[in-house]
Amino acid sequence: MITSPLTELFVRDLNRLKAEIQEYKSEENLWKVEHSIKNSGGNLCLHLIGNLKTFIGNGFGDLGYIRKRDFEFAGKNVPRTQLYQEIDETIEIVQHALAQIKEAEISNNFPIVIWKEETGMAFTLLHLYGHFNYHLGQINYHRRLLDEQTVI
């Protein structure tokens, strides 16, 4: 079933997100934006956490999470330790929520309408995973660009 490998991939890449946040040489760089870079690594991290808690946590785990999407992109200076805790919490949420999906349900529509109309569960889960990795790559480039400029 698709949920087992997706769970494994989400957990692996949430741990990669945590590692990327740890790799920033300066906590200040985590929140910087420069030139045409519109989103900081810290804001992208908040966005990924909010996205997964909203769509996977609320969709399958009845989490009751209330998303603060504006804060995901405008908030600043959230301590790394808090980001680590939120990532660890998101790992648990994703594992629990995806375990709730029964194989027969995978051909159903996703429980939350994300776009203008309902979409299939498999399609939406794959989209959420692709979205996660798109932004994870942005965080990697953001970190390397800014850390390259940091003089220690």
- Region for residue 69 given its phi and psi (left: phi exceeds 0; alpha: psi -120 to 50; beta: otherwise): alpha
Q: How many folded domains does the chain comprise?
A: 1
Q: Print the domain residue range for 24.
A: 3-149
d(CA 110, CA 133): 20
Per-position pLDDT tens, the chain of length 152: 789 999 999 999 999 999 999 999 999 999 999 888 889 999 999 999 999 999 999 999 888 999 999 999 999 999 999 999 999 999 999 999 999 999 899 999 999 999 999 999 999 999 999 999 999 999 999 999 888 775 54
Q: What is the CATH number of the domain that holds 85?
A: 1.20.120.450
